[in-house]
Amino acid sequence: MPACNVAVCAPAPYLAQLQVLLANSEISLGAQDVSAHESGAYTGEVSVAMLKEFGVRYAIVGHSERRQYHGETDAAVAAKAQRALAAGITPIVCVGETLAEREAGKTEEVVKRQLAAVIHANGHCISEIVVAYEPVWAIGTGKTASPEQAQQVHAVLRAQLRAASDHADRIAILYGGSMNAANAAQLLAQPDIDGGLIGGASLKAPDFLTIIAAAG
């Protein structure tokens, strides 16, 4: 039994298969996205009701690739988080800056703006979310924010959550920029980094297990 919470967030077509594989295990099932619409004629969208039918516990919202390639706005991400929370699914809210934004000194401004939209839309329910900081320049590039760089942003997010909720310290803030077996322990040792949103390294079982062990 892992000493931390573990979830696998899969593309929608594989949720049924994973639901069977993860049954009676300590690993939770998550989705990589969810529709902002509760119901209606939105062909191709996956609603919270559909996810609930497969026992989904988590849904990633606002991943940088959704923001970049699908034009998702802060308001759309906040609506998705709200929809998930209303259905009892925990949204993993992704925030993060591009390389250009970091080089312009706008990291703090960008992540605070992205998180503020979710806080504004969800009010007292904000203590039920999970936040993931994923610097866009470190996703799939092999580049990683240093533990100090990551901690600096996590501390900003923690302070913002504390200003919004009396229960902010129970909100997990994950780091999602190329965390791997080699750097996980050092990143997770930082005071405000509670876990990881693992990308490519999760596809290598030994590496994923190493990261889980580091989180425990």
| Domain locations along the chain | 6-215
Q: What is the pLDDT of residue 33?
A: 98
119: three-class secondary structure by DSSP: helix
Q: Into which CATH architecture does domain 6-215 fall?
A: Alpha-Beta Barrel (3.20)
> Is the pLDDT assigned to residue 71 strictly greater than 70?
yes
- The catalytic residue among 72, 128, 134, 154 is 134
Instruction: Judge whether residue 75 has pLDDT over 60.
Output: yes
Report the chain's mean pLDDT, rounded to a whole number. Answer: 95
Tokens at 193, concatenated: 């980094």
- CA–CA gap between residue 174 and residue 29 (Å, rounded): 17
Q: Confirm whether 63 is a catalytic residue.
A: yes
120 is catalytic: no
CA distance 88 to 138: 31
Q: Tell me the per-residue pLDDT of 124-138, one tens digit each, with 9 for 90 and over.
A: 899 999 999 999 988
Catalytic member of 37, 63, 72, 103: 63
Q: What's the whole-number mean pLDDT along residues 186-191?
A: 96
Q: What's the pLDDT band for 140 if we cut at 50, 70, 90?
A: confident
H, E, C per residue of 157-212: HHHHHHHHCCCHHHCCEEECCCCCCCCHHHHHCCCCCCEECCCHHHHCHHHHHHHH
What's the rounded Cα separation, in Å, for the pair 73 and 84? Answer: 17
Question: What spatial distance separates the first Cα and last Cα of the chain, rounded to whole Å?
Answer: 10
When pLDDT is averaged across residues 69-83 and rounded to a whole number, the result is: 97
pLDDT score of 1 more than 70: no
